[in-house]
Structure formats: C-alpha cells, structure tokens
Chains A and B, each alone.
Chain A
C-alpha cells in the first residue's frame, strides 16, 4: 500500500487524519476524490459555490448538509465501536427524539415560539440520555453482548416512537425548530454546523481528556485494562449515552428538515450507514484504535455517493448497489487475510501468535 505521505493526496491526508492514521485513510480519501472527479466530469459546475441571500449554495454544501445526520450518528458509533461494542438502536433513538420534540411542540400552546422549540429539543435529548443509559446498563452491568443488547431497543424503539406520536405523522410549524435543518448561520447551513461542531467538540474532548485513551485501552485489551484498574463500566456507559445523544440530535435534524416526524421511517437504516461510515473510516469493528476523522470521511463518502448517482444519470435507487460494492471493497482492503492473498505473501505473521490470533493460526 502506498504511503500517502509520499503520494499525491498526502497533504490532505495528513491534515485530516493526523500522523498515525494517515495510511488508513488513503483508500477512503482516494475513493472520495474519485467520486468528486466523476461528478465534475458529469457536471463541470459541480464545485461551483455561490452566495445567494447571504447563504452558501452549491452541490458541495448540499453534500455536507445532507450528510450531517449520518455524520452525527457515526461520531457516536465510532466511540461505541472502539470499545468493542456496537449500537443498533440509533435509528430508533433518532425516531424517538424526533417524535418527542415534534409532539411537544404540537401540544404546546405556543407551538411557534422559539422557547417552545428549545424546551422541546432539550426534552428530546434528555430522553436520549435515558435511552443511552438503558443500553449502557444492559451492556456493562448485565453483561449482554452489545449487538444483542441494542437489538432490544432497535426492535421496540419505533413502537415507542409511534406510541409518542399516536401513530400519526406529526407536522410542526416552528421556525426555530425548522432552522435546525434549513437554517443558515454565517452563510453556512445550521445542520452542517451542528454536525461539524459536534465532531470538533468530540475530537477535542476525546483527545484532550483521557477519554480517548481509556476507550481505546478497553477496546484493545479488556483484560489488561481491568488489571491496570480502568473503570470499564463507566467508560462503556459513557459511550452509549453519547451515542444516543448523537443519534437524538440527528433525529431532530431529520425531523426539522421535513417539518414532521414519521415514526416508521425517520432514521430508518441510519445505523447501517453510520456503521458503514465508521468501517470505511478505518476503525475496526473489533475495537481499539479509532479515528473520528476517518468516520467523517466515511460519512462524507456516503453522502457524496448518494449525490453522485443521480448526478451521473443512474437512477437514484441504484445507490444500494454501489453501497454494497463500497462495503465489500473497503472490507476486503482492510482484511488481513485478503491482503495476504492479494499480495501473495505466504510469510508467517511476525511475532509469536497471540491468544486471539492463535485461532487464526489454527485455520
């Protein structure tokens, strides 16, 4: 694999990803670049950005704005996956958040007021914290496998969201709330600003406090973490609450975008897109080292792909085919076994086999 530091995309790669992860981001960035090139060939004005009514407009701006919900969910998912976990319930949590906020606004006497929207948003996020606590409780206290523990809320969550909305598609008319999705601040779309803001804040918190290091230690070697005195339970609980909060925010943006909430479809499959973004970004589903920047690239890649397909004249529905292709390609490129086959290197893996890799050695 070429080292991006010496290759053409080296500078962007380093700036985005930081030193250790630069090489992992080479392929996702290359894919993103390729997609953008394809778009420019199909539509030469693709990169054009214009200012209208003090707002930035253009395909690139759209991509960032439309990719915001997936990016938000992917940020939370990255931390969960880094602890060797997974959160399947984020789509349902997003639906619940949207439902709670919209129903609160609709039932409020001042349903158009800014204050109402703020209380609604706060309430929705508080509910998300509770849901995250629930997931974290099942995983860290009861000790249920994350994929199973979060399946419970994935199944029941949409029912809960429908319970909140009474099964209706709830429509709201509140400008403050709608601004979450369609508003602009400093010429930039609010949705994108929120997502990028959460991204930056998470990056700072994770790297400036010890959270990132402790998350990685739990994901890399749970037993060594235990012996080193790491309070894994607190760490795991924290990441599930955070993931639920991110999912809730994404749900609010989606609801604000349509001025309504449909408990059945809001955030449907967003967990899969988010997991995909994380995996494309180079964070292993086996836990350990994570890259938020990678997830950002992954989320943008998915958003760009969604945009590219109609742009080059393929029916939008074929989106899924390309997604499947991307998943397989990225996973194969990251799979050590596939690499070994591709590079035809029959060498023995360096170092004596560890307990975990011993099983592979048997194979």
Chain B
C-alpha cells in the first residue's frame, strides 16, 4: 500500500479542495454582503430589500451579458463584441418595431442576429486560429458599424407590449416588487448554471479551459464547444440588448459603449479565472451585483463622485486577479 503514504497527505489536501474551488465565489458573496451591510449602517433606507430588488432590475441586461461572457472566459477566450452587439440589438428591435413587425418576430430576429454574429466569430477563432481578442474586436467594429447603417439617431420604442414588459413586475409578499426583466435575467442565470454544471457541453467548456490539447486527445467535441460558447455569448448579448431596449425604451448606436468591459470586470470579480477553466455563473451574477452596489453606494452618498465607481472596479479586479494568481501558483 504505497499509495497510503501520500494519501495521508492527499486526504488533507482533499478536505480543503471543495472550499478552495468555491473560495473566490464565497469571497465575492462576502464582499457583496459586507458592502450591503456597510451601506445599511451608513445610509438610511439602503438595507431595504427593495433596494436589492431594484439592483437586479437596473442590472438585468448586464447580468445576461456576464452570463454569456462567463461561458467564453471559461474556455480561456474573451468576447469584446458584446457591448456593440447590445447596441445593434436595441437598434434592430427599435427599427423593426417602428416598421410595425410583430413583437415575436422582432425578438426572434434580434436573437438570431446576435447568435449569428457570435457564431461567425467562433468559426473564425476555431477554424482559422485567429485570436479571440482580434476576432471579437472585428465583431465589435462590425456590430457598431451596422448600428450606424440602421440609424445614426436614437429611435424611441413605443410598442405597447414592450412597455408592458418593461414596467411589468411581480409583487412579492411585504409589498415588494421585482421587475419582469430581472426575472428573465435570473432565469437565464439558472439555465446557464444548469448547463455548465450538469451537461456534457458544460463540462467540455471547463475541460477546454483546463487544457485544450488534453481535451482534443481525450476525444471531446472541441470544435462544437468552442464555436458554441461564442454563439451563446452572441445570444446572451442579443438578449441583453433586448433587456436594455426595455430598460431605455429606445434603440441607439451609442448605447452600451464600453459595456463589454463591465461584463468582463463582473466575471473576474465573480471569481472566474481569465485564463479559463475555473468559475461559476453565480459568481458572475454576484460580480454584477457588486458593481451595481458600488453605484448604489455612490447615489446614496451624494458626496462621492461617480469616478470612484471605475476606480473601485479596477481595484477589485486587481485584488481578484492577484489573489487568483497566488492561489493557482500554490497549486
């Protein structure tokens, strides 16, 4: 029983393994709770559950974007095109509604367009070995350019169904309410978490992020998975775009400028390793909530300037990146 000797040590390591895998997410969760707690003590009305529910509503589109981004980053890639994709989606929706298309068709067209854009980038990345950074940069330019072709000016959305969804909410016990769009976002998070944790596709995503050559040698469907994550990210960006259109009730080519950065930051703060292979969708949800809380903080405070948001996000990204560097180095 030679293996018993190392097993003694291994068992020790083994006991700590599950917490360590969840450590970054737990960290983000603690951070979020801590920030909310501090806010609750410092500002009146901050601890009100409605503040939290509004946080979800205000960031519904970003949550969906972060979900798509999580898939991509888990494989070790990156998607810079999501912000432009959101803008394009709002414009397609606004323009087609203006033309009087039925709502269902509009939604279908938007989702299809976003998914196609994502798929095209995935194909470039996988089959032509173009780096994700560059391929999605091209996608970013393309989507932004298409926006201007559709309309340079902002197009308002006056569709009744859209307004109804935008302002619709579920009433919760205690007189609180949760907006429909927030519910959509949470459903997406749930589906994504299920797919990543419990389907072959999801596990292959993690395997790709762990080691692509190994995944190939293990005979996993690398091509489908790699193109798939970009398609999913495109789909999520389009969906995020629809939610953003609902939020602003307009389509505009200058919507969501730089939003890809927020999505990436949320994913990183949510504990996902930018090199791939490690992370959870729930973490990204928490990451978005942390970003949202920073903004809520600033709006409650009144004396803090808005730029502290960016600086805080930068510092948080740094802390998580360095922490993960230390964690991976130790293993």
Contact = CB atoms under 8 A, between A and B. Distances in A.
Chain A's interface: helix, strand, loop or mixed, by majority? Answer: helix
A142 interface: yes
B258 to A, nearest CB: 8
B129 A337 contact: yes
Contacts of B253: 317
Interface string A92-112: 000000000000000000000
Contacts of B312: 159
Contacts of B329: 143
Contacts of A272: 137, 140
A159 B274 contact: no
A56 interface: no
Interface string A287-326: 0000000000000000000000000000101111111110
B317 A152 contact: yes
A324 B274 contact: no
Contact of A327 (B78, B137, B152, B308): B137
Contact of B212 (A158, A279, A359): A359
A363 B213 CA distance: 8
A158 B257 CA distance: 14
A319 B321 contact: no
B121 to A, nearest CB: 10
A160 interface: yes
Contacts of B318: 152, 156
Contact of A145 (B131, B140, B148, B275): B275
B308 A159 contact: yes
A154 B225 CA distance: 30
A17 B307 CA distance: 44
Nearest to B310: A159
B274 A145 contact: yes
B130 to A, nearest CB: 5
Interface string A123-162: 0000000000000000000111101110111111111111
A148 B324 CA distance: 12
A332 interface: yes
Contact of A147 (B128, B133, B257): B133
A151 B310 CA distance: 12
Contacts of A362: 213, 216-217
Given A156-B311, A157-B314, A317-B152, A327 B141 contact: yes
Given A153-B314, A335-B129, A159 B137 contact: no
A223 B140 CA distance: 35
Interface in B130-161: 130-131, 133-135, 137-142, 144-146, 148-149, 152
Interface string B235-269: 00000000000000000010001100100110010
Interface of B: 78, 124, 127-131, 133-135, 137-142, 144-146, 148-149, 152, 212-213, 216-217, 222, 253, 257-258, 261, 264-265, 268, 274-275, 305-315, 317-318, 321-322, 325, 329
16 contacts: A145-B275, A148-B268, A155-B265, A159-B309, A160-B307, A163-B311, A167-B307, A275-B134, A317-B148, A318-B145, A322-B145, A324-B138, A335-B129, A337-B127, A359-B212, A359-B213
Interface of A: 86, 142-145, 147-149, 151-163, 166-167, 263, 268, 272, 275-276, 279, 285, 315, 317-325, 327-328, 331-332, 335-338, 359-360, 362-363
Question: Closest 9 interchain pairs by CB?
Answer: A156-B314, A159-B310, A321-B145, A317-B148, A320-B145, A162-B307, A324-B142, A159-B311, A324-B141
